[in-house]
């Protein structure tokens, strides 16, 4: 029997990157997982990799009809849900002077509206004492040049986690957020030569206290901890900046209660800090939006 045997999980944006790492971690320990994404080819590859305990559902979180269809499919496949990972998102460069209304609207539609209504549509299926984990970003507290729209959306998720945690508390639903910093997701290698990617990562690692990037597996462990193990928590705290200064690991920052000084995060691999202004390139910020 695995640690997560008998647990039912939904992961939006679960076909690649951090979402896929979450799915792999949970499936390997016995969970049954539903993953979502927009690319059928990516989902098919992830489904084959995850095995029979995974179900792949194609859909766009920015489209409420797709979320309704997802809820129906989850109800049929799983019945109830023990953990919901709200991980789907896009990233794009948005220089202030040239950002278009369309780019602004798409980033907020997917990253903010999509996250909000994912929780709303799936909340009725959450079982007793479940965990909801939103993937935000360290950009939610940093001034990020040429990424103000992305950063604002991630800050909205940080605030959303706090508000929803209080609103859903009467149902025993715990809501937290994981805030990755520079994570090696493979996007750089797909966007440039291997040599150029390694050179870029080496330069950016100089701004990280541990002099390396985090891995998707580290983010997955942090998210799983918040979803299943941090049962003493109920609402996210403002532990983020304190943890960043304390541990300085490049993996991810997680926030939970009961206090800002006692975060409940599995140290030392769950916090991040970077003084480099361009760390966020590792999350795939480019001139065109990217969906996961």
Separation between Cα atoms, residue 171 and residue 208, nearest integer Å: 39
From the list 93, 35, 99, 88, the residue with the least C-alpha distance to 62 is 88
> Which residues lie across from 290 on neighbouring strands?
91
Q: Which of 4, 104, 116, 150 is catalytic?
A: 150
- Give the pair of three-digit tokens for residue 23: 């799915």
Residues 89 and 135: beta-carbon distance below 8 Å: yes
Peptide bond into 268 cis (omega under 30): yes
Residue with structure tokens 């602004």?
Answer: 104
User: Catalytic residue at 150?
Assistant: yes
* Alpha-carbon separation of residue 141 from 49, 50, 282 (angstroms): 35, 34, 17
Q: What whole-number distance in Å separates Cα of residue 131 and Cα of residue 236?
A: 12
Q: Where are the alpha helices (DSSP H) in the chain?
A: 17-28, 40-50, 64-77, 101-108, 114-122, 148-167, 187-191, 194-205, 216-224, 240-246
Residues noted as catalytic? 150
């Amino acid at each position: 029997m695995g640690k997560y045997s008998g647990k039912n999980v939904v992961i939006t944006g679960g076909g690649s990157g951090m979402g896929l790492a979450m799915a792999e971690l949970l499936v390997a320990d016995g969970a049954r997982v539903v993953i979502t994404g927009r690319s059928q080819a990516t989902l098919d590859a992830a489904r084959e990799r995850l095995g029979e305990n995974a179900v792949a559902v194609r859909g766009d979180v920015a489209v409420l009809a797709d979320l309704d269809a997802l809820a129906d499919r989850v109800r049929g496949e799983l019945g109830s849900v023990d953990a919901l990972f709200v991980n789907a998102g896009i990233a794009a460069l948005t220089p202030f002077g040239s950002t278009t209304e369309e780019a602004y609207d798409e980033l907020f539609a997917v990253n903010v509206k999509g996250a909000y209504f994912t929780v709303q549509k799936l909340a009725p299926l959450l079982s007793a004492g479940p965990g909801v984990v939103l993937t935000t970003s360290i950009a939610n507290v940093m001034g990020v040049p040429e990424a103000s729209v992305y950063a604002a959306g991630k800050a909205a998720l940080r605030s959303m986690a706090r508000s929803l945690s209080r609103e859903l508390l009467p149902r025993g639903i715990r809501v937290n957020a994981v805030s990755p910093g520079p994570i090696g997701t493979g996007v750089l290698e797909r966007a440039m030569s291997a040599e150029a990617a390694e050179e870029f990562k080496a330069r950016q690692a100089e701004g990280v206290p541990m002099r390396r990037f985090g891995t998707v597996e580290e983010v997955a462990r942090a998210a799983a901890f918040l979803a299943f193990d941090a049962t003493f928590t109920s609402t996210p705290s403002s532990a983020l900046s304190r943890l960043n200064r304390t541990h300085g690991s490049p993996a991810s920052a997680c926030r939970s209660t009961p206090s800002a000084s006692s975060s409940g995060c599995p140290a030392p691999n769950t916090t991040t800090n970077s003084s480099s202004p361009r760390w966020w390139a590792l999350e795939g910020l480019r001139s065109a939006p990217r969906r996961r």
